[in-house]
Each structure stands twice: as C-alpha cells, then as structure tokens.
Amino acid sequence: MRFLTTQRFFVIACLLMFMANTYLGYLLYGTKRFRADCLLTIRQNEQIVNQLSQAKQLINEILASSGDSIRPSTTIKDKEGHTLKLSQLVQDGTKLIFVSPQHACGTCVARELENLNELSQHIGAEHILIFGTFENIRELTLFQQYNNIQPNVYKLDQQLGFELEKLQSTPFMFLLDQRMEVKKFFIPSPAFPELSTNYYQMIRTGYFQPSPTVHQ
C-alpha cells in the first residue's frame, strides 16, 4: 500500500514538473518573442526616422539651391578635350543638367542615367547635359561608353557653386536657362525612387516639347 502511495506521488510529481516546465518554457519563449517583436518595431521606427531625416535634408538642400545662378565664366571640357563655357551650352534654350560627383554611389548614378536615357527619348538628348568630376578625358569616355549614355557628357573643370558639391558624393540635377539661372533643383535618393519618377514627368511635360528628332 505504501508502495502504491509512493508510486502515485512520483507520477503526480512528474506530471507537475512537466506542466511547470511547459508553462515556464511558454513564458520564456513568449517573452523572447515579445522582446524580438519589440526590437523589430524599434528598428523599423529608427529606419522611418532616418528616412524622414534624409528627406528633410534633401528638402533643405533643394530649397537652398533653387533660384541660384551659375557664373557665366564657368568652364567645362567636352569628350575631345576642348574647353567650353557653360553659358555656350544654354544659348539655344534651357537644359536639364545632371551632375555625377567622383565619389557618388555607382548604383544610384547608374539608375539615374537609365532614367535620363529614357527621358532623352521623349525630349531629345540635346536638351540633357551630364557633368562629371572626372580625373581626365579618358575617364569621361569610359563613363559614357560603360553606361551607354545618349546625352552629351562633359568634364567639370570647377565646382558650380552649390554647397552640396563639397560632399563630393551626392548626385543632383537642375534646369539651367539662358540667363544661367537654376530652376527645379533636385537630389535623387535611393530611399525615394518615386520622387525621381515624378520629377522626370514634371520636367518632360512642363518644360520641354517633344523633340523633332525623336521618332514617335
């Protein structure tokens, strides 16, 4: 009889231990999962804050640069190495200028060059100028060939006068009219690709008529 009582006690004790371990395991797993979910939410919020911070910085740069003017004496070099005044290139009308700094993100620049090639099919490559801070003309030629660029590419001899150029890593673009005045300054961002799409659409419909050289 005592043996049965001891055996029953042992079985009950084992069941209680199993239930306790199961409950503790559930609590422990649930707590870890809850903490993991919290950490994930925190990281997502941090990403949102970073994106908003980037957006604010981009807006500040755009507002600071729109309405500026560029010195008429600013010079560039074409792919043959000839020195030209920037003012010569806008004598026949407004141009969209894209600037690719030497240390810019290669993927970011490549994406915008694809967009510009596509845009050139609608407004004409003659309305788009691409500037780069190349070390020499050979770099310019390789850059144009590698990216299969339709618009003309030029080497910047000097900075254009924007604060953003001091970073030497952020590509940007703007419209430049015959008076050398800057309009629609824009900084493309990989975090907001839809902004580039909207920008090109605005440029295409608001500032350029379909080029007669473009085959419909």
Amino acid (one-letter) located at 70 = I
Average pLDDT (54-69) is 55
Q: Which region holds residue 7: left if phi is over 0, alpha if psi is between -120 and 50, else beta?
A: alpha
Scanning 1-105, the segments in alpha helix (DSSP H) are 2-65, 86-89
Average pLDDT over residues 33-44: 52
Joined together, the tokens standing for residue 131 give 């500037």
Say yes or no to pLDDT of 36 above 60.
no
For residue 162, pLDDT over 70 is answered with: yes
Percent of the chain with pLDDT over 70: 66
> Residue 121 is encoded by which pair of tokens?
């099919």
List pLDDT tens digits, range 168-205: 788 999 999 999 999 999 998 888 888 899 999 999 99
69-207 to CATH, choices 3.90.1150.10, 3.40.50.1700, 1.20.58.2240, 3.40.30.10? 3.40.30.10
CA end-to-end span of the chain? 101
Residue 124 CA to chain centroid, in angstroms?
A: 24
- Pull the structure tokens for residue 33: 């999962």
Instruction: Kindly report the backbone phi and psi dihedral angles of residue 11, in degrees, each rounded to the nearest multiple of 5, phi listed first.
Output: -65, -45
Pair type for strands 172-176 and 95-100: antiparallel
pLDDT at 27 over 90: no
Instruction: Express as a percent the part of the chain with pLDDT over 90.
Output: 42
Q: Which two tokens stand for residue 177?
A: 């009219």
More confident site: 2 or 203: 203
pLDDT digits (tens, 9 = 90+) for 75-98: 999 999 999 999 999 999 999 999
- Would you state the pLDDT for residue 3? 41
3-class SS of residue 81 = coil
